[in-house]
């Protein structure tokens, strides 16, 4: 029996739904697939040597970050599979640009204004001095709604808040004083995650976005290996009118939504599907919101979605199909020739 060794970089939970050993039929031949999470590459003596056959690279990168090519330039193309995680600022820039280039109507799409805290930085963002009203400051690589500051810029000058955050990153300043500033409120889903949220803000840098008012509903969408939206679940809210936050999806069937047509008009469904396929990509989780006046938008997306709240059968099917695609590229066969056994 042939053996294929697959390594998954970084210790995310998404591929944990697969067994340590999986079995397939590939063109009539039985093949065993083994997983590990400790990729090693030897560059001694000329040709590189690997302790794996296939790599699934879960990596976090910012736009222009050279580290995103840490494996891509070494591992052969038919053995390398990238699941790149962008920060929230980069996501917003890409989405807002992509929506302009779609050739389908998007008049109901609500872009989230994104700002930068310095005079240089991300192309596609405005300097914070142009922001008005209320904004949300959140960890640039955060998850689960932890570490969000809601700031009313009519009551607190952003420069003051930014300076205090900067002091805290070098071990100075007082967190309690910061969150007690006029017009500043701190939100982190639960009491247990407040310290985690604070640390995430200080360690990861932060994304500054305009507050979206009048949110009526939020949904968790999942895409498959081809970027098709295949799973929709309505999420519950926590918090009051000032800043309602969607909490983790409940795996109950009562929250499952059959199709996007149940929540969006046909033209918007077409635009969202196009965005998912062309910009967001494979194996992604999308946080979709809909406002009371019929606008829709995307808070964030991530191609390393957590498995909490996703039914096991859905979760396993999505990751198994992605693994089959990686095997097909490596083995040089059509994906239809691969069957799980």
Predicted confidence at residue 64, as pLDDT, reads 42
**Could you report the per-residue pLDDT of 256-282, keeping only the tens digit for each?**
787 899 999 998 999 999 889 888 888
The residue from 210, 243, 261 where one domain ends is: 210
Helix (H/G/I), strand (E/B), else coil: 97:
helix
pLDDT tens-place string over residues 227-243: 999 999 888 777 667 78
Instruction: Name which of 57-71, 179-193, 294-308 the model is least confident about.
Output: 57-71
Do residues 11 and 142 both lie within one domain?
no
Confidence of residue 34 (pLDDT cuts 50, 70, 90): very high
The mean pLDDT value for 138-147 works out to 80
Return the pLDDT at 69. 47
Q: Does residue 75 contact residue 55 with C-beta atoms inside 8 Å?
A: yes
| Residues 129, 199 within the same domain | yes
The CATH number of the domain where 285 resides is what?
3.30.470
13 SS3 class: coil
Structure tokens at 306: 């957590």
Separation between Cα atoms, residue 234 and residue 323, nearest integer Å: 27
DSSP label at residue 166: H
Return mean pLDDT, the chain.
83
Environment class of 306 (CB within 10 Å of its CB; exposed 0-12, middle 13-18, buried 19+): middle
Residue 259 and residue 142 share a domain: no
Q: What percent of the chain has pLDDT over 70?
A: 87
- What is the structure's pLDDT at 157? 86
Scan for tokens 């149940």, then name that residue: 262
For residues 206 and 216, membership in a common domain is answered with no
Share of the chain above pLDDT 90, in %: 33
Torsion of CA 205, 184, 248, 228, to 10 degrees: -60
60 has pLDDT over 80: no
Residue 87 pLDDT > 50: yes
Contact present, 317 and 136 (Cβ < 8 Å) = no
pTM: 0.86
Q: Which residues, in sequence order, are CB contacts of 273 under 8 Å at separation 6+? A: 228, 229, 260
Helix (H) / strand (E) element for 174: namely none
Total structural domains in the chain?
A: 3
Judgement on whether residues 62 and 99 belong to the same structural domain of the protein: no
pLDDT band at 46 (very low <50, low <70, confident <90, very high): confident
Residue, of 234 and 58, whose pLDDT is higher: 234
Q: Which of 153, 180, 210 is the last residue of a domain?
A: 210
In angstroms, how far is the first alpha carbon of the chain from the final one? 13
pLDDT score recorded for residue 65: 46
Provide mean pLDDT across the span 138-162: 85
* pLDDT computed for residue 67 by the predictor: 45
Range of the domain at 201: 114-210
| Residue that is last in its domain, among 171, 194, 210 | 210
Give Cα 3 distance to the centre of its chain: 32
Is the pLDDT at 121 greater than 60? The verdict is: no
Same domain, 199 and 228: no
């Amino acid at each position: 029996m042939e053996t294929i060794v697959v390594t998954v970089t970084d210790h995310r939970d998404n591929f944990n739904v697969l067994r340590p050993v999986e079995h397939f039929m590939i063109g009539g031949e039985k093949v065993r697939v083994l997983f590990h999470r400790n990729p090693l590459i030897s560059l001694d003596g000329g040709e590189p040597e690997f302790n794996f056959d296939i790599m699934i690279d879960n990596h976090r990168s910012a736009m222009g970050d050279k580290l995103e090519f840490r494996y891509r330039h070494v591992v052969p193309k038919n053995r390398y599979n990238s699941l790149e995680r962008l920060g929230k600022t980069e996501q917003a820039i890409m989405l807002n640009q992509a929506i302009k280039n779609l050739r389908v109507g998007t008049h109901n799409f609500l872009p989230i204004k994104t700002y930068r805290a310095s005079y240089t930085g991300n192309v596609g963002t405005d300097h914070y001095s142009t922001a008005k009203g209320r904004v949300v400051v959140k960890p640039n690589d955060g998850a689960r709604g932890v570490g969000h500051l809601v700031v009313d810029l009519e009551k607190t000058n952003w420069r003051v808040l930014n300076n205090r955050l900067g002091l805290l990153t070098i071990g100075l300043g007082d967190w309690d004083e910061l969150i007690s500033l006029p017009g500043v409120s701190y939100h982190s889903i639960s009491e247990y995650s407040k310290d985690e949220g604070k640390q995430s803000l200080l360690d990861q840098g932060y994304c500054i976005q305009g507050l979206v008012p009048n949110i009526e509903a939020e949904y968790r969408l999942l895409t498959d290996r081809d970027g098709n939206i295949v799973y929709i679940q309505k999420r519950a809210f926590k918090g009051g009118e000032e800043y309602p936050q969607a909490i983790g999806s409940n795996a109950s069937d009562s929250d499952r939504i059959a199709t996007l047509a149940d929540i969006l008009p046909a033209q918007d469904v077409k635009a969202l599907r196009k965005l998912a396929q062309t910009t967001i990509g494979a194996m992604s989780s999308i946080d979709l919101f809909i406002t009371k006046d019929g606008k829709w938008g995307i808070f964030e997306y991530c191609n390393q979605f957590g498995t909490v709240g996703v039914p096991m059968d859905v979760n396993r099917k999505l990751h198994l199909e992605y693994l089959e695609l990686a095997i097909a590229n490596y083995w040089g066969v059509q994906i239809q020739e691969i069957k799980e056994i």
